[in-house]
Structure 1
Amino acid sequence: MSQIKIYGLRTHLMPLREKLSDTLHSCVVEAFRYPENKRAHRFFYLDKEEFYYPEGRSEQYTILEIALFEGRSAETKKLLYQLIFERFEKELGISPNDIEITLTETPLVNWGIRGKPGDELVLDYKVIV
C-alpha cells in the first residue's frame, strides 16, 4: 500500500494533474509490482507566495512524498526514482532537477486499513520486492 502526496505550484500542477498521476502510477506499478487498481494520490496546490523552493529549481519544482509499507529493497526504490525521473522528463517535460522524492516506510502493524492493522491484511500483491 502507498499514499502519495504531490506538492507544487498550482499554476504548474493543475493543468497536468491527470497525466502526472497516470505517469507516476505507471512508475509505482512497474517498480513496486503493484496492481493497477492501487492508486492513492493527493495533490497539494500551492500559490507562488506559499511555496519557497531551492535556488536552481524552476516553477515546475515538484515534491513527491510517498508513504508505504516497509519491505522494498534498495534496488527497488532506486528503480522507482529512475522511472520517475525519466518518465517525468519525457512525458511531462519536468526536469529531474525539479523533482524531489521522499519515501517514508511504515511497519505493517503501524498502518490501519480496511478495519485491520496492516500486518493482518491479506494483500493481493507482494510488499517484499
Structure 2
Amino acid sequence: MGQVKIYGIREHLIPIRDKVSDVLHACIVDAFKYPENKRIHRFFYLDDEDFFYPQERSNQYTIIEISLFEGRSVESKKYLYQLIFNRFEHELGITANNVEITLTETPLHNWAIRGKSGDELVLDYKVSV
C-alpha cells in the first residue's frame, strides 16, 4: 500500500501535475515492484507567499511524502530516491536540489483498507522488496 502527497508552488505544479504523477508512479513501480493500478496521489498546491523553502531552492521546489507498508529494503528505498531525482530532472526539468522525499513506513496492522486490517489483507504484490 502506498499513498503519495506532492507539495509545490501552485503556478509551477498545476501545469505539470499529470506528468509528475506519471513519472513518480513509474519510479515507485520500478523500485518497489508495485502494481501499475495502485496509484494514490494527492497534490497540495501552495501559493508562493504560503510556502517557505530554503534560499538555495527555486519555485520548482517539490516535497514528496510517501506513506507505505513497512518492509522495503534500504536498497530499494535508495533506488527509489535515485529514480525520482534522475527522472524528475530528465523528464520534468526539476533538479535534485529542488526535490525532497520522505518515506513513512507503517506496520501492516496500523492500516485499515477494504474493510480489513492491513495484516489481514491478501495483497497482489510483495511488500518486502
Give TM class, smaller chain: over 0.9
Distance 2:111 2:54 in 1: 32
RMSD: 0.3
**Corresponding residue for residue 77 of structure 2:** 77
Rounded to whole Å, the distance in 2 between the matches of 1:73 and 1:111 is 20
Report what 1:87 is aligned to.
87
Whole-angstrom distance in 1 between the partners of 2:68 and 2:46: 24
Deviations 1:70-89 (A, max 9, x none): 00000000000000000000
2:103 is equivalent to residue 66 of structure 1? no
Amino acid at match of 1:112: A
Q: Which runs of 4+ in 1 moved over 2 A?
A: none
Q: Once the 2 structures are TM-superposed, how far is the Cα of residue 55 of structure 1 from its aligned partner?
A: 1.3
- Residues 92-107 of structure 1 mapped to structure 2, 5 A cutoff: 92-107=92-107
Q: Structure 2 regions of 5+ residues with no counterpart? A: none
Structure 1 Cα separation of the partners of residues 38 and 13 of structure 2: 22
Q: Secondary structure at the match of 1:53?
A: coil
What 5-or-longer segments of structure 1 have no aligned partner?
Answer: none
Q: How many residues align?
A: 129
**TM-score if structure 2 supplies the norm length?**
0.99
Residue identity opposite 1:72 in structure 2: R
Alpha-carbon distance in structure 2 between the residues aligned to 1:97 and 1:49: 20
SS at the partner of 1:30? helix
Which residue number in structure 1 is paired with residue 110 of structure 2? Answer: 110
Q: Distance in 1 between matches of 2:12 and 2:120?
A: 40
Partner of 2:28: 28
Q: State the one-letter code of the partner of 1:121.
A: L
Deviation at 1:12, TM superposition (A): 0.6
